[in-house]
Amino acid sequence: MKFYDALQMDPAILKRKIAACGTKQEQMYYWVAMATRSVLIVAFAIVFISLLSGVFGSDNTPMAVALFCILLGIRFVNFEYCIGDSLLALAAALAILVLAPSAAAILPPLFLIPLHFVSFFALLSLTTQRPEMGNGGLYSFAYIYLTGNPVIGEALLRRGLLALAGYLLCGTILFLKHRHQHKTVRFHHVVRRFDLSKPVCLWQLRMALGVSLVMTAGQVFGVERFMWMGFACGSLLSEYPYSGNTFVRFRQRITGAVVGSCLFFILYLAIPESLHSLLGPLGGLCLGFCTDYRYKTAMNCLGALMLGAGIYGLQGAVILRITDTLLGAAFGLAFAAIFHRLVALRFLPAPNAE
């Protein structure tokens, strides 16, 4: 296998290849590929996000982060319908990511649930026909992150221009990589196929409603860093195949958040202050080696808490991260169980309700 081809592989695939290797030399080859892949992604992220933030303003760094994630994903995963409709769908998805978070920041609480639900459900309908490919988690992250970092006025205009630049880049990649796929499938075919007896449709509905409720609760009750609640809840509900029982993922999420937060606390105190800014990239590098959900959750804490510590202080950020994660994950666990009992069991054909 060419080294370039190995760089394109997910860590889970690389680790399976390492396990199947017969010699130390072969194992080292794939370990080096995994390490190189991780370094390149982090380096590219730093350059890409820094460049866009410098041009469009630091207040639009969250949009640059979202575009970076979309850029990485769109190379490998398409929307499952023809390229013409897919390009329109990408434009619509980015428009939602620009406008809905800013609207949520100024609308009265009464309108937040409808806004979040319609926006999030539309986003999933446009981008995620096969949740197992990861698009659901990707666009869910972008929506929640941007809702937690809204802008208005002139900054919103710059965010729109940034999204346009991102569309030109991501749209070009989408066209070059996927223009020959699903040529006969139109988006209206996807809409017509919507049926709550299908697990994917139940998954979309549950994701949209659950995230809408938890984000609204966070905003209405003034929860600090409420987007961390949204991440925890959305992560539980994004698990696919669809299941009414999310307890295993709940336990893994809490474990990862506590371990990651404690690790950040120790590292922050142990290293010189001049090196604190490296904790975020360190988490990104380690993430490139992770395949277990708990470890991914723990590594994600490093970058999140690096930002949070600058706002709330070290102890405040760590407590807030764990508390918000517990609240969001607990809500997701309870919501998944209630949704399954009240909705899913009425539509999923037996005996495949689980």
Q: From CA 344, how far away is CA 354, in angstroms rounded?
A: 9
Q: From CA 143, how far away is CA 257, in angstroms rounded?
A: 21
Q: From CA 198, how far away is CA 304, in angstroms rounded?
A: 35
Closest by CA position to 81, among listed 169, 167, 178: 178
Q: What is the pTM of this model?
A: 0.94
Give the pLDDT of the chain (354 residues) as one tens digit per residue.
789 889 989 999 999 999 999 899 999 999 999 999 999 999 999 999 999 999 999 999 999 999 999 999 999 999 999 999 999 999 999 999 999 999 999 999 999 999 999 999 999 999 999 999 999 999 999 999 999 999 999 999 999 999 999 999 999 999 999 999 999 999 999 999 999 999 999 999 999 999 999 999 999 999 999 999 999 999 999 999 998 889 999 999 999 999 999 999 999 999 999 999 999 999 999 999 999 999 999 999 999 999 999 999 999 999 999 999 999 999 999 999 999 999 888 887 654 444
The 3-state DSSP composition of the chain as helix, strand, coil percent (nearest 5) reads 80, 0, 20
pLDDT for the residue 2: 87
- Residues constituting the chain: 354
pLDDT for the residue 346: 84
